[in-house]
Amino acid sequence: MKQLLSVLLTSSLALGGTFAVQAQSIPDEPHLQVRGVGEVWATPDKVTINLSVNEQSMDVLEAKSAADRKLAKMIMALKEQGIESKDIHASQLGIHSKTRYNRDTQTNEFDGYEVSRNVSVILRQIDNYASVLQLLVQQGANQVGQSHFGLSNYDQLHEQAQQQAFSDAKQKAKTYAEGFDTKVGKVYSINVMSNDRPIPYPRAEMKMMAVADAAPGVEQAYNVGEIKVSASVNAVFLLDN
């Protein structure tokens, strides 16, 4: 009867999709498997902006000089905004030779050089995101990559999400066991998922980066949502009579 109860509980949880199969030991005695999940929402307090300057010329040094000048202006403008040097990364240089196809000669002909300079900026005053982005474009940035929003207190929030996951697993185990007229015993094994990372995820209520009654402008073109920090745990509990 005990073995049958173990099979019933494990099968019902698997069919319900509440437990992801993991490579962990399974006891021979009656048990149940559960997956606990937890999540915490928080407004990001920093953002990494990625931009680049691309210049083209038949002379490689001319293209490089043009890109360097624009990047220098961008760096100066950022420092004038109070952004520290440690948060400005502008060390990469890319040079590519271009060709174009000549239909008359049916050959590829040299068409100059393309020089690119990349800059990555960590902005710790996130309310200035729209204005700083606008400033960089004005100073010569002609390609904008994806911005990455983050949380400076991620570790603390992830610990909160883990505690929620632990509580969720214990509550599920208790509920399922009571449904089969039995009780939860000691925990047999725990598998904490360690690959959960913060993922930008817009929530229904979003925080405006400017006051709502202001005239429409650059700031009103951007919204900062909230980031979901999640955690999960798989646990195997023994069952008591």
Q: Helix and strand tally (H, E) in the chain?
A: 4, 12
- Helices 60-80 and 129-138 cross at an angle (nearest 10°) of 150
Within this chain, do residues 14 and 59 fall inside the same structural domain, yes or no?
Answer: no
CATH code of the domain covering residue 25: 3.30.110.170
**Alpha carbons 163 and 140: distance in angstroms, whole number:** 47
Measure CA 102 to chain center.
Answer: 45
Structurally, the chain folds into a number of domains equal to 2
Within this chain, do residues 28 and 74 fall inside the same structural domain, yes or no?
Answer: no
Domain boundary among 133, 150, 167: 150
pLDDT digits (tens, 9 = 90+) for 133-144: 999 999 999 988
Within this chain, do residues 210 and 131 fall inside the same structural domain, yes or no?
Answer: no
Q: Look up the domain containing 113 and give its range.
A: 46-150
- Contacts of residue 152, defined as CB under 8 A and 6 or more positions apart, other chains included, come to 45, 46, 124
Query: What pLDDT, on the 0 to 100 scale, is given for residue 213?
Result: 42
Domain boundary among 150, 178, 198: 150
Within this chain, do residues 50 and 101 fall inside the same structural domain, yes or no?
Answer: yes
Within this chain, do residues 144 and 158 fall inside the same structural domain, yes or no?
Answer: no
Element housing 32 (H / E): strand 31-42
Of residues 35, 28, 3, the one with CA closest to residue 176: 35
Within this chain, do residues 75 and 142 fall inside the same structural domain, yes or no?
Answer: yes
pLDDT digits (tens, 9 = 90+) for 90-118: 988 999 999 999 898 888 999 999 999 99
Within this chain, do residues 53 and 95 fall inside the same structural domain, yes or no?
Answer: yes
Domain boundary among 95, 122, 150: 150
Within this chain, do residues 141 and 163 fall inside the same structural domain, yes or no?
Answer: no
Within this chain, do residues 37 and 106 fall inside the same structural domain, yes or no?
Answer: no
C-alpha triplet 110, 111, 116: angle, nearest 5°: 115
| Residues of the chain where predicted confidence (pLDDT) is lower than 50 | 1-23, 196, 198, 200-202, 204-215
